Amino acid sequence: MEKKKMCLALYTGSIDKLTAAGIILSGAAAMDMHVEIYVLLMGARAFRKDIGDNPDKLQMAENSSMKEEFLQSLKNLKVKTWVEFFKEAKQITDVKIHICGLAGKVWGGEKLEDFISLADDICGIGAYITSAQEADLNLFI
């Protein structure tokens, strides 16, 4: 049986939504799905090497006054960081992470080396559209 494919457009760069994406990715990995992640706009900022897994440089999607409470709760519950979720999923199943070329440039990243090691390549938006058309499940976060 052929693996199911999930396509995830990761528009966000907020710590809460990145964590949610990591949890979803973890579930897809547990189900042995093939996952294509396309990092768009604000998401590309979070994937920069100088930001990555540094919660001080990431915002909350909505109620920013809850950031410290959110981070403390994750710590108390021993929840992995979003980067750890992504790394673990890449070890378990076939996960490819693509940085949108324009989004990367918006945040000063023009080369793959400008982003955390999770990124596999830099591509154009057409790659995302094609992947979304072929996917069994397409999510936009």
Tell me: the pLDDT tens digits for 39-75? 999 999 999 999 998 988 999 988 888 999 999 999 9
Tell me: the pLDDT tens digits for 82-136? 999 999 999 999 999 999 999 999 999 999 999 999 999 999 999 999 999 999 9
pLDDT for 62 equals 82
pLDDT for 26 equals 96
The structure tokens listed for 2 are 């052929």
Evaluate whether 13 touches 45 at the Cβ level (below 8 Å): yes
Does the pLDDT of residue 37 top 80, yes or no? yes
CATH 3.40.1260.10 assigned to domain 5-62+70-97+107-140? The reply is: yes
Note the maximum CA span of the chain. Answer: 47
